[in-house]
Chain A
Amino acid sequence: MQKNFPNKKILLVGNPNVGKSTVFNVLCNRKQKTGNYAGVTVASHSGNYIFQNEEVEVIDLPGSYSIYPSSEDEAIFAKYLVEEIHNYSGVVYILEALSIKRGLLLFQQIQDLGVPMLLVVNQIDQAERRGIHLDLKELETQVGVKVISTNAKENLGIEELRKNIFENNFIKSSHPTFEIPTEQKGMVFKILENTKEENQYKVWTLLSSDTYLGKLETVRDQLNEDEVKCVIPKRLQTQETIRRYQKIDAVISKVISRKPQFKELLTEKLDKILVHKFWGYLIFLAILLLIFQMVFYLAVYPMDWIDSLFLNLSNLAKENLPEGPINSLISNGIIPGIGGIVIFAPQIGILLYFLYLLEDSGYMARVIFLMDRFLRPFGLNGKSIVPLVSGTACAIPAIMSTRNIENVKERLITILVTPFMTCSARLPVYSIIIGLVIPDKFFGGISYKALALLAMYILGFGMALVASLILKKIIKNKGKTFLVMDLPAYKKPLFGYDLKLVLEKVWGFITGAGKIIFVVSIIIWVLSYFGPKTNPNEIVATDVHLDHSYLAKMGKSIEPAIEPLGYDWKMGVGILTSFAAREVFVGTMSTLYSLDDDAPEGKVIEKMRSDVKPNGEKVFNFATGLSILVFYAFAMQCISTIAVVFKETKSWKWTVLQTIGMSGLAYFASMIVYQIFK
């Protein structure tokens, strides 16, 4: 067998919710790389497969309804399609049998751009159940490209699709389906002549797209003033869409035949309840509660296993490594530090898995429908609910999933407030602090600790809303806000595929956080092992008492700043290192307390509990505990999130403002809390 297969690159294109991910999933059986953080419809990812010794790379582009993008993810799609036209062999266009009319619009637009295409009609069985019969042979002659029928869920037609891709059955249309209107014809031909461009429709799209597609300025250079005045992109787009739909109607009338019978589908039945004015909200609330219940109760078992695994690892290291500081670093610092993160992987995984399933099933669109009215007063869009809810798992994929919010202002506000949501990285910190300072009492059968954790979630969500209100006043509105959203038919989620995505994410979380904790642990250990020299013969003093180390010196130098918040220098170090990532706090604390010679032997948490300030006051008392909780609820302590905010907003201003604003708020809020409860 050859080692290097001939390589071919194809694009998977279609409307959102037509089963594109299903086709992608069954088509690419080899390795898949999610080029980005997954979010089913958000990021483009690629995968590949081998068919008859040919390696084919499949790029799954975000779904779109038209070549003219109205949101960021659609812009990604349009940009890729137009700019990379020479780098792929063709487009596999997925059409859902039930919404064939809407699908043909984008299909014809791409066809007119001169892109070689192959048409896949998916889920014909759904249409048949509706009494709609599709004549695929007729469709083939009407649209002028090869048509393949698949049922991706049952793995039907996929081999044929692969065969057609192998045989390069991509067809470039010979004549345009859209005729340039007479009024613009002169202009288009003039530009064609001047720029040596051959495709009429391409010039037309440049004229009729206002921002994303191309640079109107360069096209405008070709025109005189009067002509420029006539070009109103929006009007041209509308004109084009209506004309296209007229032609598509003619095609459809030839392709589709209807039987009179009509069966109510599952979606209609479900929506009677799921979008109900009262039951709809109750069910949404119940689903959220159920998910969180699962996160905390289902995750207990794997968390116990992980806990004992790392405890054993730590003991193993302690017994087998030579006695000394390195031993203590590894067995008390690094291993418990990493264990402190891995232990939260089950919770993150379960949360993410449920969120993926909800999105995959089509339910999230209903949640957007239900929540839109309640989020609008805060300057948010109904679509903001998805980032806000997934922000409880991790802010990074949540912020990336804002790309389908069309309005720039609403999207920006959503990005800026999502980090307030209680993400899973805060859980380790909350668990430890709540365990330390909240009394072990019960209130009506519910433990104070559980209530405290619930309060932290509510605090985060509340602050997100308050911040949105403030931002709504500050940010100037660009563009009109709107909600025009397809409500897809419910479908059975891809349990296996989603699980794969979740495992990938969780592994990414562990390795990412693990690396940081490893490095931070070592730095802290080094800084605390060495101290300023005590006699002139040394360069530095080694194996010093923790209180005389460089770390203590640095920590104590920031003490004046953190004293009003009620923290001692160790917590100060913990908070500073947490700016890399929140969960690092746990690792830092483990390292610091295991290095403290004065502290009694035992678990780190016991050492923390019994630690006292010089004045005899407990370090982790009720007031400092609350102060830390509030600090972690508000502060922007996550480098990866900052990076993603910058990537998504493309603005230093907002990234810096968000980081400073959130951290400043954290500082003052926790100061107030400490001063009140002191």
Chain B
Amino acid sequence: MYCFRVFITYLTLFRFNLNRVYLQLNYRILNHNFSNKLSSFPIKKVGKILDYDNEHLQMPGKIIEMGLLPETVFKILYQAPFHGPLYIEFGEEKSRIALREEEAKFIIVEAVK
């Protein structure tokens, strides 16, 4: 019981992304009608940017300037531990970019088969 509580504390302490794990496991099922934010997109799967969620104009302009545009195909290659930044490879030129999850929340994506 104690161990379990420690485990849960550990998870909450580092805001363990259960959502990400779930999506990773269920990628195949969700594959067809997957529509979500980049921040919870599974790692090492190919996706496509659809749109931005930028109602309040909080999104850094740099995201667009760097070339993360709608229709861009991408893949999250790595993520730094404890919800660190995402390492994303995108576009036909295979550019690489580092984004925090907070910034990734502005980007709406879908899975590409």
Contacts and interface: CB of A to CB of B under 8 A. Distances in A.
Interface of A: 65-66, 68, 70, 98-102, 105, 130, 132, 232, 234-235, 237-238, 241-242, 245, 258, 267, 271, 275-277, 365, 368-370, 372-374, 382, 406, 480, 482-489
Contacts of B92: 258
B77 A235 contact: no
A65 B66 contact: yes
A99 B93 contact: yes
A520 B105 CA distance: 57
A372 B100 contact: yes
Interface stretch (B20-28, B29-37, B80-88): B80-88
Given A101-B67, A277-B78, A372-B84, 8 more contacts: A65-B65, A99-B95, A102-B66, A373-B82, A373-B84, A480-B60, A487-B96, A487-B97
B64 interface: yes
B102 interface: yes
Interface string B27-68: 000000000000000000000000000100110111111110
A482 B65 contact: no
Contacts of B97: 484-487
A484 B103 contact: yes
A541 B25 CA distance: 89
Contact of A70 (B60, B98, B103): B60
14 contacts: A65-B62, A68-B65, A70-B62, A130-B94, A238-B61, A276-B78, A373-B81, A382-B85, A480-B58, A482-B102, A484-B60, A484-B99, A484-B103, A486-B98
B108 interface: no
A373 B99 CA distance: 11
A241 B61 contact: yes
Contacts of A102: 65-67, 95
Contacts of B81: 277, 373
A374 B92 CA distance: 32
Contacts of B65: 65-66, 68, 102, 105, 241
B100 to A, nearest CB: 5
Contacts of B70: 242
Contacts of A374: 82, 84
Contacts of A369: 80, 84-85, 87, 98
A130 B92 CA distance: 11
Contacts of B87: 271, 275, 369, 487
B61 A70 contact: yes
A366 to B, nearest CB: 9
Nearest to A239: B64
B66 A482 contact: no
A101 B85 CA distance: 24
B99 A483 contact: yes
> Considering residues B62, B63, B87, B94, which has the most beta carbons from chain A within 10 angstroms of its beta carbon?
B62
A101 B91 contact: yes
A241 B64 contact: yes
A582 B59 CA distance: 44
A486 B77 contact: no
Contact of B103 (A237, A271, A365, A483): A483
Contacts of A235: 57
Given A483-B103, A485-B98, A373 B62 contact: no
A373 B64 CA distance: 23
A250 to B, nearest CB: 14
Contacts of A487: 87, 96-98
A237 B82 CA distance: 33
B15 to A, nearest CB: 10
A238 B55 CA distance: 13
A65 B57 CA distance: 19
Closest 4 CB pairs of A and B: A373-B84, A487-B96, A484-B62, A66-B65
Contacts of B95: 99, 102, 486
Contact of A275 (B60, B66, B80, B93): B80
B80 A373 contact: yes
B13 to A, nearest CB: 11
A223 to B, nearest CB: 20
Contacts of A382: 85, 98
A267 to B, nearest CB: 8
Contacts of B77: 271
A368 B91 CA distance: 22
A484 B60 CA distance: 8
B100 A482 contact: yes
Given A65-B62, A101-B67, A271-B87, A486 B57 contact: no
B59 to A, nearest CB: 8
Given A101-B91, A271-B87, A484-B99, A245 B67 contact: yes
Nearest to A485: B98
Residue from B66, B94, B95, B98 whose CB has the most chain A CB atoms within 10 Å: B98
A275 B95 CA distance: 16
A102 B97 CA distance: 12
A258 B66 CA distance: 22
A235 B87 CA distance: 27
B64 A242 contact: yes
Contact of A271 (B58, B63, B78, B80): B78
Given A102-B66, A275-B80, A369-B80, A482 B98 contact: no
B94 to A, nearest CB: 8
Contacts of B83: 373
